[in-house]
């Protein structure tokens, strides 16, 4: 279940409350089941996946991709699997742990593990949302945000793209004032 933490320490864990708090940013957050397929669940439990295994996961979850293709014009998808065994993981993540925007929506379906998205709201306040397994998030183009992993340092996420060139981070230069290390 997603957890939203405000700068004043308030924590929300109900989708309706989180949606209300993020409504000014037009962020979509939904629950999407991965289903009960035991082979898929086994793959998701592995720390790392090879190319064939990633494709197997993507095909098993293509009902969501097909829905996004039809409703929103998404053209491609991939699966990213981040974990402590990846060489240069910290270096890879530094691209996203500063406040930035994208020219395209940032769309993720977390299928294993968890990650944190931070947001700057229109009033200047900052919030952080921990997104967990079976949660879909769409961060609209132009939304000021940052991203990092929780202390578990592992996440598997399907990324959906209209155009991958729109996903390059554009740094705003703003400072992150609020950063949780983990929600208790």
Q: Is 175 annotated as a binding residue?
A: no
**DSSP secondary structure letters along 105-149:** -EEEEEEEE-EEEEEE-TTS-EEEEEE-TTEEEEE-TT--EEEEE
Burial class (CB in 10 A: 0-12, 13-18, 19+), 73: exposed
Terminal-residue alpha carbon distance, the chain: 13
Q: Is 55 annotated as a binding residue?
A: no
179: DSSP letter: -
Q: Is 100 annotated as a binding residue?
A: yes
Do you know the residue count of the chain?
Answer: 184
Q: Which residues make Cβ contacts (< 8 Å) with residue 175, sequence separation at least 6?
A: 99
Q: Is 145 annotated as a binding residue?
A: yes
* Residue 156, strand partner residues: 81, 112
Residues flagged as binding site for Fe(2+)? 100, 102, 106, 145
Binding residues, as ranges, are 100, 102, 106, 145
What are the binding residues for Ni(2+)? 100, 102, 106, 145
């Amino acid at each position: 279940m997603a957890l939203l933490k405000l700068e004043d320490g308030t924590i929300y864990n109900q989708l309706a409350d989180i949606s209300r708090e993020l409504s000014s940013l037009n962020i979509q957050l939904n629950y999407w089941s991965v289903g009960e397929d035991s082979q898929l669940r086994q793959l998701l439990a592995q720390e790392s996946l090879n190319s064939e295994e990633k494709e197997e996961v993507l095909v098993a979850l293509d009902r969501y991709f097909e829905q996004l293709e039809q409703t929103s014009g998404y053209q491609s998808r991939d699966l990213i699997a981040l974990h402590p065994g990846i060489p240069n993981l910290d270096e890879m993540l530094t691209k996203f742990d500063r406040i930035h925007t994208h020219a395209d929506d940032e769309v993720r379906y977390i299928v294993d593990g968890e990650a944190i998205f931070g947001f700057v709201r229109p009033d200047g306040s900052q919030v952080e949302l921990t997104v967990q397994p079976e949660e879909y998030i769409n961060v609209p183009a132009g939304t000021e945000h940052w991203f990092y992993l929780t202390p578990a340092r592992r996440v598997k996420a399907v990324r959906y793209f209209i155009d991958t060139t729109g996903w390059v981070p554009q740094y705003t230069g703003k400072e992150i004032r609020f950063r949780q290390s983990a929600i208790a």
